[in-house]
A and B are shown apart, each in its own frame.
Chain A
Amino acid sequence: MSFSLLRSRGLRAATRTAGVRPVRSTLPAMRFLQTDADKSSPAEALPESGDQPFTVALHGESFHSYRCDAPSNEISITKDELVKMYTTMVQMRRMEQAADALYKQKMIRGFCHLAIGQEAVSVGMEHAIDGDDRVITSYRCHTFAVLRGGTVKGVIAELMGRVDGMSYGKGGSMHIFTPSFFGGNGIVGAQVPVGAGIALAQKYLKKKTATFALYGDGASNQGQVFEAYNMAKLWNLPCVFVCENNKYGMGTSAERSSQNTEFFTRGDKIPGLQVNGMDILAVKKATAWAKEWVTSGKGPLVVEFVTYRYGGHSMSDPGTTYRTRDEVQQMRSEKDAIAGLKRYILEWGVTDEASLKAIDKKAKEEVDAAVEEAKKSPFPDVKTFWTDIYYKGTEPPMMRGREKEEYHVYSQA
């Protein structure tokens, strides 16, 4: 803003002396993406029954498109689904908060990247795709792991390194998988070409599924991301590249890392969509639209969800050295995704405050119970130190430990 002011001042100053009337340079009207969580409204009266769909009009600025037409601003939803979304989002937040507490109690070690604040993205996406679609993301993966067929207990146990963890304690926070979810990846950006490869496999096997390869604003500048874009577009792969733009790559804001912060345009010839990632209905609509696009043979897409994380990059980052506490507070109080959905539910008369409070309570109890069960799970036996280095049955005769007398012999059946 100030730059444009300076520009016009300078122009006037120059032309004053030259005596030429300045041509007024009109800046294009800046349309900012709307990032509130609660600006959608129903387009019709809500039906009586919980499973009957009704139309909701999303805010006009929920989508910005690039090289394509944005999806319409209408979404069809049921009251039951709204309540389900709320329940799941609350559960996910509770799980991440439990992980936070466990980390501080030193029951979780190493890395722990929490997605508190970004729940609308994972839950909204899950409501638009099915079990055959494929998802791969970065290390901020706990919520996806649960939503894609995992369990809260399985994730918490994995974080604590217990045998009941989804990777039996061998992977940790960043390496949790399900048949339709390929992690959980530790190297920034590496999951994007892997995701494109998963999409290649879907196309090769003639499956009508979409593959969602997620990465953050920080990873968006990685060379391998562009390599994946290139091949996905060249070969028309059913891959949706999803940039979860939470505005900070670790401690570096997007403006300080990226020459072009419009991440949805960085696919060059790949069409893109920028989406309000705080409104779960916008997320669901965009994801359904993207799935339809890529599975109908139109090639890949880049979808950017503009979201926010309240916590730091990970548990070792307070998250306040590179942004003000006011900013975090403001996002929490004004733009929270769960609060936004809650507002929809209450204002539209989907259900009452007491029911929502009951859901909150139940979610807390369920997560607490899962944590307790996970705590009871034992640590993995030393035998599993040696397993899964190679596919079962194809191991070499022995593998070496720390010294020549520490080795494991594999019994070949």
Chain B
Amino acid sequence: MASRAALSKVIRPTSSSIRALSSSSSAAAAGSKIASRNALLSTPLARVARSEPKWLVGAEQRRLVSSDEGVTQMTVREALNSAMEEEMNRDETVFIMGEEVARYNGAYKITKGLLDKFGEDRVIDTPITESGFAGMAVGAALAGLRPVCEFMTWNFAMQAIDQIVNSGGKTYYMSGGNVPCPVTFRGPNGAAAGVGAQHSQDYSAWYGSVPGLKVISPWSAADCRGLLKAAIRDPNPVCFLENELLYGVSFPVTKEELSEDFLLPIGKAKVEKEGSDVTVVTHSKMVTHSLEAAELLEKNEGIKVEVINLRSIRPLDIDTIIKSVKKTNHLVTVEGGFPAFGVGSEIIAQICESPAFDYLDAPPERVTGADVPTPYSESLEHMAFPDTDIIAKVLKRHLYRQ
């Protein structure tokens, strides 16, 4: 209790010089007597003064120069971290709760450094009780706060799905608009590498089917920044489905994307690559594979693939897809989730019900995860999820160019 009280004040840098982590940590440690604080001393995390651009988080970004050229690199991890930090700075009611988010700096280091900056009142380590703490996040949201509730993976959120869907997603409607629930649930979703069946499921279709929730599945660092900030500011319950394999991937980010108020609209897809021969609709990690397949096909076959990054599962931006299908006349969806009753199924159903159907030159197709609980061994696991080669193969076949 004493240590918690000592950290209850938000720790903010006061001087304009950059403080070394050790000095600030020992100041905290002196007041708090937390032995594990020493673990943080070895992390290469620079403390940045308020006068400097606040988006600098993490060692890699120390290399960034505040030039006006506008293009720098940022990993997805840094993007999520900086988004949360900025939102917590902007709005005092935003706080983070989840397993290992505070002293461990995040199971996947997404919340690294935030405990240092905001204290244990705003970055809360929970026990391993998803159902309980997801319910508490909903309750805190109903009572006026804006919790960001992290699940170590969305697989564990199945324990909490009643709280997300029933207590969170439906309350605004059932109360006739009297009780909003501005909670954000986030965490890694879908495949990792070699983690087996219980840790590899993709839940986009499940949450995507619930009216009242918003469901986001970002891909790039810019997606993550803009959409997580938008999700936290959104007054609805939002499920933010990240991907563990993308956390360490670097993406170019512009100056605008690094600004504090950079927001992306929830419910709008992005055409990552323009094309004229076939529309590929995809989300999350599969965007990477789809873009690689598109490059391959353009180079080797001269096929021009249009790749649409959904960004949001719900609301689904069907208008962008319709526009694209009218142009290319072909539709292939790519996702990591199970094939049955999935995101691709929904997109194809909606396209068939729309005017875009008349523009199709071939029956739309899906590329999905296999209808198999994910096996462990690598020789089997690679058959469980789509990769660049299989996407390219399907696209060629779809265009009768085997």
A residues adjacent to B (C-beta < 8 A) = 134, 136, 165-172, 175, 177, 182-183, 185-187, 190-202, 204-205, 223-224, 226-228, 230-231, 234-236, 384, 387-392, 394, 396-397, 399, 404
Contacts and interface: CB of A to CB of B under 8 A. Distances in A.
Contacts of A223: 131
Given A171-B176, A226-B132, A394-B235, 8 more contacts: A194-B142, A196-B136, A201-B139, A201-B140, A224-B132, A230-B127, A388-B172, A404-B354
Contacts of A165: 176
Contact of B174 (A175, A193, A234): A175
B324 interface: no
Contacts, number: 160
A193 B131 contact: yes
Given A196-B136, A230-B127, A388-B172, A399 B178 contact: no
A204 B121 contact: yes
Given A167-B174, A224-B131, A391-B172, A197 B143 contact: yes
A357 B319 CA distance: 67
B166 interface: yes
Contacts of A190: 135, 162-163, 166-167
A249 B163 CA distance: 22
B177 A198 contact: no
A300 to B, nearest CB: 13
A374 B284 CA distance: 51
A165 B175 CA distance: 10
Interface centre among A169, A175, A194 (most CB of B within 10 A): A194
Given A227-B131, A227-B132, A231-B126, A388 B176 contact: yes
A202 B143 CA distance: 8
A170 B174 contact: yes
B135 A228 contact: yes
A267 to B, nearest CB: 14
29 contacts: A166-B176, A167-B176, A167-B178, A171-B174, A182-B142, A182-B179, A183-B175, A187-B166, A193-B134, A193-B163, A194-B163, A195-B139, A198-B139, A200-B140, A200-B145, A201-B144, A202-B143, A204-B93, A205-B145, A224-B132, A224-B163, A227-B135, A234-B127, A388-B176, A390-B172, A390-B214, A390-B236, A391-B235, A399-B211
A194 B167 contact: yes
Given A190-B163, A234-B127, A391-B235, A170 B135 contact: no
A99 to B, nearest CB: 19
B174 A197 contact: no
A170 B176 contact: yes
A309 B172 CA distance: 31
